[in-house]
């Protein structure tokens, strides 16, 4: 499985070039496109979400909103990805989650088709699964320019995390075809790719090769 992660800062040439790249990616039918642009003002993110939904719907590719759950409710886009702090807030849990140790899917997540969470430790992964996450994104596994100067957590971390939960785990961070296959061998159900897809002239070919598909 492969999720594409957007990042408009990796695109030169303006919005239209960005949306053309999104269409190239959507046309290759990844398992989902996470609209990551979380540094946007909500009103700008909503504009991008509407435009990307049109593109993704045309290619029958799920669009997953990142962080802005209120916009998801407003636009009835029911695929959501969250950071751990936002996930915990929505669940209504105290900040010190491991002290309260809540159990059971939080009611707020039952209205969504799918909720994913970014995690950076085994404890976060177990908590997220217990509180209703449908999948996890774990990272960063390999060195990446998106987190310059921050050490990678590595494949041993990924193995431990995957062994701790039953829901799918997607590896992120420095993902390309080679690293992606290594992540899968370590137990990941799939990968998240950002730079590899956003900067490629042929992102569809990368998706097809990773997925083992051919035309």
The mean of the pLDDT values for the chain is 92
Percent of the chain exceeding pLDDT 90 equals: 82
- Rounding to the nearest 10 degrees, give the CA dihedral for residues 172, 121, 108, 65: -20
The residue-averaged pLDDT of 14-20 equals: 97
pLDDT digits (tens, 9 = 90+) for 36-77: 998 999 999 999 999 999 999 999 999 999 999 999 999 999
pLDDT of residue 105: 79
The dihedral built from the CA positions of residue 139, 142, 146 and 151, taken in this order, carries a sign that is positive
pLDDT of residue 214: 47
Residues 117/123/127/128 CA torsion (nearest 10 deg): 10
Segment 14-36 mean pLDDT: 97
State the average pLDDT over residues 204-211. 94
Task: Find out whether 124 and 108 touch, Cβ atoms under 8 Å.
Answer: no
Looking up tokens 């909720």, which residue turns up?
Answer: 115
pLDDT at residue number 213 = 62
Q: Identify the pLDDT of residue 122.
A: 96
- The pLDDT confidence band at residue 145, using thresholds 50, 70 and 90, is confident
Give me the residues paired with residue 2 across strands: 191
Residue 191 predicted with pLDDT over 80: yes
Over residues 137-160, mean pLDDT: 89
**Overall average pLDDT of the 104-123 stretch:** 92
The domains of the chain, with CATH numbers, are: 2-211 (3.20.20.70)
């Amino acid at each position: 499985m492969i999720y594409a992660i957007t990042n408009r800062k990796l695109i030169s040439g303006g919005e239209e070039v960005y949306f053309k790249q999104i269409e190239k990616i959507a046309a290759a039918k990844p398992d989902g496109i996470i609209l990551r642009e979380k540094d946007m003002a909500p009103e700008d993110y909503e504009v991008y979400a509407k435009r990307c939904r049109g593109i993704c719907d045309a290619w029958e590719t799920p669009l997953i909103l990142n962080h802005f759950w209120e916009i998801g409710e407003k636009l009835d886009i029911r695929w959501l990805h969250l950071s751990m702090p936002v996930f915990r807030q929505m669940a209504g849990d105290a900040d010190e989650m491991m002290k309260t140790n809540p159990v059971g899917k939080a009611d707020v997540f039952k209205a969504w088709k799918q909720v994913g969470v970014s995690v950076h430790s085994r404890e976060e992964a177990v908590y997220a699964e217990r509180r209703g996450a449908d999948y996890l994104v774990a990272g960063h596994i390999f060195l990446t320019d998106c987190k310059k100067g921050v050490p990678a957590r590595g494949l041993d971390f990924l193995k431990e995390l995957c062994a701790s939960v039953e829901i799918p785990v997607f590896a992120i961070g420095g993902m390309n075809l080679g690293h992606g296959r290594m992540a899968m061998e370590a137990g990941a159900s799939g990968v998240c790719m950002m730079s590899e897809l956003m900067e490629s002239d042929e992102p569809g070919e990368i998706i097809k090769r990773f997925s083992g598909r051919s035309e």
